Amino acid sequence: MARKVKLVSHITVGHFFETHGESLKLEPINSSDGFNRKINEPSLNRPGLALAGYIDHFAYMRVQVLGNSEVEFLNKIDSEIRRERIRTICKTDIPCIVISRDARVHQDMLDICEEFRISLFRTPLNTMRFINSATFHLEHDFAPTTTAHGCMLDFRGIGVLIKGKSGSGKSETAIGLVERGGALIADDHVKIRNVNGKLTAFTDDFSRGFIEMRGIGIINVTNIYGLGSIRPDATLDIIVNLRPYSDLNEVDRVGITRETDKVLGVDVPIVDIPVAPGRDTARLVAVTALDLQLRRLGYDMAAEFNNRLSEKLANTTPPSPFTTHY
């Protein structure tokens, strides 16, 4: 199924600070003139070699992080060499510089960053903790995303995307799963991102917890079912298509083989469930989710039945064509 994919080529330093500054405990220590600079890669770099004079292969497109080693090195070298080395890396169009462990920033660093309009931040986090946390945030910022029309829920740890034509009963099924202990992630407009091969579904903050019910209107799921009835995101584990009952003959009845749908390059299992008056669709989707959970634990109900049937046929002696029956 073709989907429009959004790829992120860069984010600005200002966006990085506004979005993640609080969790990373970033404190700006110069002007905001460099907030328009671009971060072009989701990785970070420690410029120790560049500050020592080796500038070849310098990862200038990344956020530069100075820990205790880099700061102490700059404090101990000759002042003229220090200014030259700092100016050299600043000339390469780096996005910004972060000083970890609340280390004291040398005046030369402040002056040269102001000269080149490069944002300088300080954080109390130790160097590796900051790098790990910032990398996690940047990977989410740069992750390719797409959208899907449907209802996304987490049911007992399985992320289920319910799809179907308008009026097929997606919202009613979603509410039925919420009443069985599920949590609503998104209704109608589901966003999906791929971070290192893992698909995560979410929605915009303003619409989280709301769902449209035909004949009733927009309802706030949290107000009716409590805080446990919603979640900000969930892993996309399976797609359930609600299909008209007239398509019954086209639907797999055994479940030995599972079709998949490729979402952002990742194969996601897909199951078709016929919808008809009187069928408890929410219960069928719940059973589908629990079946997937069992498969992940190594137990395949359809495969077990198929093996039993094969053993039964293998152990059954066919009647002789010369046997006379009276």
Residue 304, classified by CB atoms within 10 Å of its CB into exposed (0-12), middle (13-18) or buried (19+), is exposed
Whether 66 and 122 share a structural domain? yes
Domain membership of residue 314 (yes or no) is no
Instruction: Tell me whether residue 253 is one of the annotated catalytic residues.
Output: yes
* Longest CA pairwise span in the chain (Å): 113
Is the pLDDT at 46 greater than 90, yes or no? Answer: yes
Show which of 115, 141, 167 is a domain's final residue: 141
Domain membership of residue 95 (yes or no) is yes
> Tens digits of per-residue pLDDT, 265-305?
999 999 999 888 888 999 999 999 998 988 888 877 777 77
From the candidates 25, 87, 117, 188, give the one annotated as an active-site residue: 188
Instruction: Tell me whether residue 170 is one of the annotated catalytic residues.
Output: yes
pLDDT category, 323, cuts 50, 70, 90? Answer: low
C-alpha to C-alpha distance for 283 and 260, rounded to whole angstroms: 22
Is the pLDDT at 173 greater than 90, yes or no? Answer: yes
pLDDT of residue 250: 61
Residue 263 is part of a domain; what is its CATH number?
3.40.50.300
- Reported as type and span, the H/E element at residue 261 is strand 259-263
C-alpha to C-alpha distance for 272 and 244, rounded to whole angstroms: 10
> Tens digits of per-residue pLDDT, 218-255?
999 999 999 999 999 999 999 999 988 766 656 665 55
The mean predicted confidence, pLDDT, of the chain is 90
pLDDT of residue 318: 66
From the candidates 4, 76, 253, 312, give the one annotated as an active-site residue: 253
pLDDT of residue 315: 79
Whether 25 and 134 share a structural domain? yes
Number of domains in the chain: 2
Expressed as residue numbers, the domain containing 117 is 5-141
Residue 255, classified by CB atoms within 10 Å of its CB into exposed (0-12), middle (13-18) or buried (19+), is middle
From the candidates 46, 122, 170, 193, give the one annotated as an active-site residue: 170
Instruction: Tell me whether residue 165 is one of the annotated catalytic residues.
Output: no
pLDDT of residue 248: 60
Phi-psi domain of 93 (left: phi exceeds 0; alpha: psi -120 through 50; beta: other) = left
> Tens digits of per-residue pLDDT, 300-314?
777 777 677 777 777
> Tens digits of per-residue pLDDT, 56-102?
999 999 999 999 999 999 999 999 999 999 999 999 999 999 999 99
Whether 150 and 274 share a structural domain? yes
Domain membership of residue 261 (yes or no) is yes
What does the DSSP 8-state code read for residue 36? G
